[in-house]
Amino acid sequence: MSSFDTPHRIFLFEMVNGKKKAGYGPSPGEAYERLGLRLTTMEMAQVRPDKFERVSQREFRKHIHELG
Amino acid sequence: MGVFPTKRLWLDLGDFGVFAHGGAQDLWQDHGLGVLRTIMHQAGVPTDIASTRAMRWWWQVRRAVRGYDQLFMNVRSYTFPFAYRAAKIFKEENPKGLVLVGGMHATVALDELEAVPEIDYICQSAGENVVVPLALNPESFPRIIKGISSKTLGEWPMMDRTLWPNPQRRDFPWPLEPSCGWGPPPVATVLTSRVCPWQCVFCSESSYIPNMGRKPVDQVIDELNYLDDHYGPLGSVVIYDSMFFQQPRWLEEWLEKYPKRAHKVWPYWAGGRTDTVRQWPDLFEALVRETNWDTVSLGFESGSTRVLNILNKETTAEDNDFSIDLVNELGDKMEAEGKKAPVFWANIMLGIPGETREDAFATIRMLRKMKRVLPSIAYYAPYPGSILGHQLIAEGRSNMTKDNYHRYAHDRKVKGIDYDFYDGLLKGKFDRGINAGSSKELEARLVKA
């Protein structure tokens, strides 16, 4: 599971309030699951697992103002 | 009537008084300042130097900046409070003078610098190709400047370390540096590479620093030999790279040439990741043994894979255990051979959002498996620039403000974290839950991170 076997990607998940939540992992599904490691069930309910875009680390700065 | 030359001042930033009374990490010199001043001086654009670290009061800053036309500052997040106050004082003293800033904070938190009206020019990203024309013709630039970095570190001139501030201490071997406990003094700090390409979300440095080629091995060795000849004899080396143990071809060349070409195989501190150690264990062992890599800084961060996933470290607790076993065994063998064993500089974070008590116990257990270790423990801090930092700021969970970006390891920087638990953990209150023994030493090892 190191970076050599399964490189990770960054995903921006849409939230029901129109903001976005940054998640990361080898796949969108795992990135969503990993958000649940630090967010409450109620907070996770605000995140839409099926609506996301993949962004590169380099491009992430363009999306800072969208986070919530 | 003669034309008066422009008077330029570089202000080195840091906590007041630390040159006289600070800890080892407070005495580190600023490579950004050193390289940029070198470039300016070689281009015939001289600057004077002053340091807040050599002062104790703001009136001393006022006196230092008085009479200058231009003020240059390399601003990091943790020095931003000093930078904006110094900018205001400079303008009060020199209303027609210009304040020109760059550095990491200009890149990761531009809005905070833009909000300071006393700052006239802000250079984002790399300053090496813009600092001279900016100093000579500032009016030809917009307020916000996007710097363009060199393609490789090999294009940078060799830094003139006499352009660093001189702390004027008997135990400070300026222009070399004192020991901070990693190796014997005098110490030469060098960079061979810039920017770690991994995506750990507590750092994310490749999101704001452009990739640059690595400095050629021969150039690194030539610089060390030069420093040894002119200011030495050198005692040890610190390779400041965010990620030294990467790019095996470069490392193999270092392995071949450093023991042969350097005046001495000086012991050195350098950093890596546990998954790269696991990926290239033979190369790692050869570097430790043959190039005297005797203080091995690894970003363990946590003993829990769950927390490593929260941090997007892309390593596992198994990767960490592999590296610990390897270095423990290697150290035993080297001691049996009468050689000095390598020591870990173990980077550890606690107080990470989502971390459970059991995760924290796993981290302390991991730390205790290391036979020879200098623990570097800090509570997680959501710095702007990092992906997790920006996310937590957006969620309203950060306690950091522009007035407290400092790097104090015990600071309570995230809302909702049970810091009393962590203070207790480091005091040994939960040792029964971890295993026997006292954690007093760990508490004492909280360092600026």
Give pLDDT tens digits for B247-296: 999 999 999 999 999 999 999 999 999 999 999 999 999 999 999 999 99
Instruction: Report whether pLDDT(B237) > 80.
Output: yes
The two beta strands, A20-25 and B187-190, are: unpaired
Mean pLDDT, range B356-373, rounded to an integer: 95
Angstroms from A12 CA to nearest CA on chain B: 11
Count interface pairs A-B at CB distance under 8 A: 69
Q: List chain B residues with CB under 8 Å of A67.
A: 390-391, 394-395
Nearest to A8 among B273, B312, B353 (CB): B312
Cβ contact (<8 Å) for A61 and B354?
Answer: no
Tell me the backbone φ, ψ of residue B268, rounded to 5 degrees. -145, 160
Nearest CB to B387: which of A1, A2, A10?
A10
* Reported ipTM exceeds the 0.90 cut: yes
pLDDT of residue B407: 63
Cβ neighbours of A35 in B, within 8 Å: none
β partners of residue B298: B272, B346
pLDDT grade for B405, boundaries at 50, 70 and 90: low
* Residue entry with tokens 């769950």: B306
Please state, rounded to an integer, the average pLDDT across all residues of chain B.
92
Residue B77, pLDDT score: 86
The packing angle between helices B419-427 and B357-369, to 10°, is 30
| Predicted pLDDT of residue B443 | 57
Per residue in B39-48, pLDDT (tens digit) is: 999 999 999 9
The mean pLDDT of B389-400, rounded to a whole number, is: 94
Q: Are B204 and B387 in contact (CB under 8 A)?
A: yes
pLDDT at B440 over 70: no
Predicted pLDDT of residue B445: 55
CA-wise closest residue to B190 among B150, B217, B208, B229: B217
Distance in angstroms (rounded) separating the CA atoms of residues B161 and B72: 18
A17–B contact, CB cutoff 8 A: no
Q: Check whether B435 has a pLDDT greater than 90.
A: no
pLDDT tens, position by position, A15-43: 999 999 999 999 999 999 999 999 999 99
> CA-CA distance, B274 to B271, in Å (whole number)?
10
Partners of residue A44 in chain B, C-beta under 8 Å: none
Per the CB < 8 A criterion, the answer to whether B72 and B8 are in contact is: yes
So what's the pLDDT on residue B89? 98
In degrees and rounded to multiples of 5, residue B17 shows phi and psi of 80, 0
B361-394 in b/e form (b: 16+ CB < 10 A) is bbbbebbbebebbbbbbbbbbbbbbbbbbbbbbb
pTM here?
Answer: 0.91
Tell me whether A46 touches chain B (CB under 8 Å). no
**Which residues in A lie closer than 8 A to residue B206 (C-beta atoms)?**
57-58
- The Cα of A64 is separated from the nearest Cα of chain B by a number of Å equal to 7
- Reported as type and span, the H/E element at residue B62 is helix B58-65
Q: Best of A1, A10, A47, A65 to disrupt the B interface by mutation (most B CBs within 10 Å)?
A: A1
Averaged pLDDT, B345-369: 96
